[in-house]
Amino acid sequence: MSTPRAFVAGLVHETNSFSPIPTNLQSFAAETVHGAGAPYRPVAIDTMGYGQFATLCQAQGIEVRAGLYALAAPSAPLQARDHAAFRAEILDDLRRALPVDRVFLFMHGAQIAQGCDDVEGDLVEAVRAVVGPQVPIALELDLHGNLTARMIENATFVVACLEYPHTDYPERTQHVYTLLDRAARGEIRPLTLAWRIPLLGIFRTTEGPMQAFVETLRRAQAEPGMLTISAFHGFPLGDTVHTSASLIVTAERDHAADAQAIGERLSGAFIDAALRAPRPGSVDEAFDEALACDRWPVVMADSGDNPGGGCAGDSTWLLQELLQRRVERAAFGMLWDPVAVDFAHRAGAGAQLRLRIGGKVSEMSGPPLDVDAEVMCVRSDVRQARFGQGEPMDPIGRSAWLRVQGVDVVLASERTQVWEPRCFTEHGIDLSASRLVVVKSSTHFVNGFKGVAGHVVFCDSPGSLCLDPRRIPYRQLRRPIYPLDTGFMPMATPLGQFDPRRADS
């Protein structure tokens, strides 16, 4: 082929099998770009790795043909007919784009559709069937993906971000760009090995044993012959037979023995770090810790109701706790309640209202609270910076700041996690004067609240993102798995190997 030509597509959804929020085409509407297999053109929304990869290619004179990009906030499994429509659109786009000498797919790794528990593996297999065995394909994923043999057998490279919060996507996309370019030029002959690591958990990489493990992984990736290494934490709320942590090593083919040794060593280090990683406290433990701390503001994660993990974002458990404990100078956000937001907007700033807030979507939301509220501020234009970095591009919809019994409560009409302080400060709330700020997020807020939070507390609150696997009603999960099965210690087992003969054929 004369001019190199890339095909790029993205379908991104982290699926929570236990989420009360249904998922269909409409869930993706705000972040959908129909590429139609035509030359890539930048768009106004943040398309993450999809847009970055295309831009990197164009800067190097590589022609880019654009496939569908569609992202939805985490929620329940996608309806079967909508999954079929997305899949068909991407494959049609690809056929229009042919011939291509490289393919980049930006996905999550934990997407489930009705009738398909491995959306990524299914798509990359179909893409492989279209492009044939020679064209390198890269699949860039979230480290919360549940890795499958089908992904590895069909993609040349499967690469996850390494950090949680996911602050390293730009770095990883650049890394994937380089790998794909070298493979397309025939400079490297990759071989992939992977291990399933039967454990469940949510692990921050900003501190402690998991931070040290990521440093170890980065050093191993720089060793001779290694091309790329990723550690998948897995997504515990996706109920599939693939759900677990995993480790994947891609190396030059003549370094297979080194890759095997490095993979086994890293799998052991990953297990060791996961077993020693801190786990979030109960509601009582979290509040006791937060109220005993004098480094204000203490920022507390309402992990169990994180919209970023498929939750409704309207649970009232921790707001009730704030009100019952009569915590003064507290802030709470964002409660997803379009109806209450509408009432606040109609009433306007300064109004006093008797209002029912939160607790509407499912039994995991807790009871609605009937409160006397003062409307402090209403807005329709507040946006947040995703992962707490870059320009604020993610809208929170219509929003309102209510004061309820001395607590500053932010309500929003869009269901979204708290990435950073703007959802409070844009309304005029001074967080430096707050004692305790409760945010609906698990970990991603940590980056955005750097320099704001005096101390951070993680609370395993009730909800559909419960972090204690013993309280999750699994049906598909493969057992035994840590920490669900008492007395079981996780050991890495081979997950699969890319068939080297195919690339030789």
* Shorter beta-carbon distance to Zn ion: residue 169 or 317: 169
Alpha helices in 225-371 (DSSP H): 256-276, 283-292, 317-324, 338-347
Q: At what angle do helices 256-276 and 208-221 cross, to 10 degrees?
A: 170
Structure tokens belonging to residue 451: 């320099």
Taking the complex as a whole, the smallest distance from the CB of residue 280 to Zn ion amounts, in Å, to 16
Q: Which segment (37-45, 139-147, 329-337, 417-425) binds Zn ion by CB under 5 A?
A: 139-147
Length of the chain equals 505
Please tell me the chain's helix, strand, coil percentages from 3-state DSSP, rounded to the nearest 5: 35, 25, 40
Query: At 504, which helix (H) or strand (E)?
Result: helix 500-504
> Least Å distance between CB 14 and Zn ion?
6
Q: Which is nearer to Zn ion, 332 or 458 (CB)?
A: 458
Q: What residues from 358 to 377 belong to the interface with Zn ion (CB under 5 A)? A: none
Closest distance between Zn ion and the C-beta of residue 1, in Å?
Answer: 36
The reply to whether 140 sits near Zn ion by the rule CB under 5 A is: no
| Tokens coding 457 | 């507390």
Residue pair 329/298 in contact by the 8 Å Cβ criterion: no
Determine the interface stretch with Zn ion among 89-97, 144-152, 469-477, 489-497 (rule: CB under 5 A): 144-152
Contacting range for Zn ion; rule: CB under 5 A; set: 141-149, 271-279, 319-327, 425-433:
141-149
**In this complex, which beta carbon is closest to Zn ion, that of residue 142 or of residue 168?**
142
Nearest-approach distance from CB 169 to Zn ion, in angstroms: 10
The identity of residue 82, as a single letter, is: D
How far apart, in whole angstroms, are the C-alpha atoms of residue 188 and residue 230? Answer: 18
> Binding to Zn ion by residue 108, rule CB under 5 A?
no
Please report which residue ranges of 98-225 form alpha helices under DSSP H.
119-131, 149-154, 169-184, 208-221
144 binds Zn ion (CB under 5 A): yes
Compute the distance between CA of residue 368 and CA of residue 365 in angstroms, rounded to an integer: 8
Question: Which residues, 165 to 194, sit near Zn ion by CB under 5 A?
Answer: none
Work out the number of other CB atoms within 10 angstroms of the CB of residue 185. 12
For Zn ion, the closer CB: 120 or 321:
120
Shortest CB 161 distance to Zn ion, Å: 8
Residue 142 near Zn ion by CB under 5 A: yes
Q: Which is nearer to Zn ion, 142 or 337 (CB)?
A: 142
Closest distance to Zn ion from the beta carbon of 236 (Å): 12
| Contacts for 344-349: CB closer than 8 Å, 24+ residues apart | 344/373, 344/375, 344/378, 344/400, 344/402, 344/411, 345/378, 345/380, 345/398, 345/400, 347/375, 348/375, 348/378, 349/375, 349/376, 349/377, 349/378
Nearest-approach distance from CB 164 to Zn ion, in angstroms:
6
Which positions from 56 through 95 interact with Zn ion, judged by CB under 5 A?
Answer: none
Phi, psi for 428 (deg, rounded to 5): 105, 10
- In the bound complex, which residue of the shown chain has the CB atom lying closest to Zn ion? 144
Do 262 and 220 form a contact (C-beta atoms < 8 A)?
A: yes
CA distances to 11, 422, 430 from 394, in Å: 18, 11, 22
Only segment of 3-11, 136-144, 221-229, 483-491 that touches Zn ion (CB under 5 A): 136-144
- How many residues make contact with Zn ion (CB under 5 A)? 2
Please state the closest distance from residue 64 (CB atom) to Zn ion, in A. Answer: 26
Q: Which of residues 375-414 bind Zn ion (CB under 5 A)?
A: none
Q: How far is the CB of 115 from Zn ion (least distance, A)?
A: 24
- Name the segment binding Zn ion (CB under 5 A); options: 134-142, 204-212, 401-409, 449-457: 134-142
Place of tokens 């509601």: 283
Nearer to Zn ion, 74 or 297 (CB): 74
Nearer to Zn ion by Cβ, of 168 and 414: the residue is 168
Whole-Å CA distances, 345 to 294, 331, 402, 414, 426: 36, 20, 11, 15, 16
- Chain residues 320-359 in contact with Zn ion, contact rule CB under 5 A: none
Distance of closest approach, residue 144 Cβ to Zn ion, in angstroms: 4
65 or 144, CB closer to Zn ion?
144
Distances (CA, A) of 64 to 258, 327, 433, 473: 35, 55, 50, 44
Q: Which is nearer to Zn ion, 142 or 302 (CB)?
A: 142
Contact residues toward Zn ion (CB under 5 A) are: 142, 144
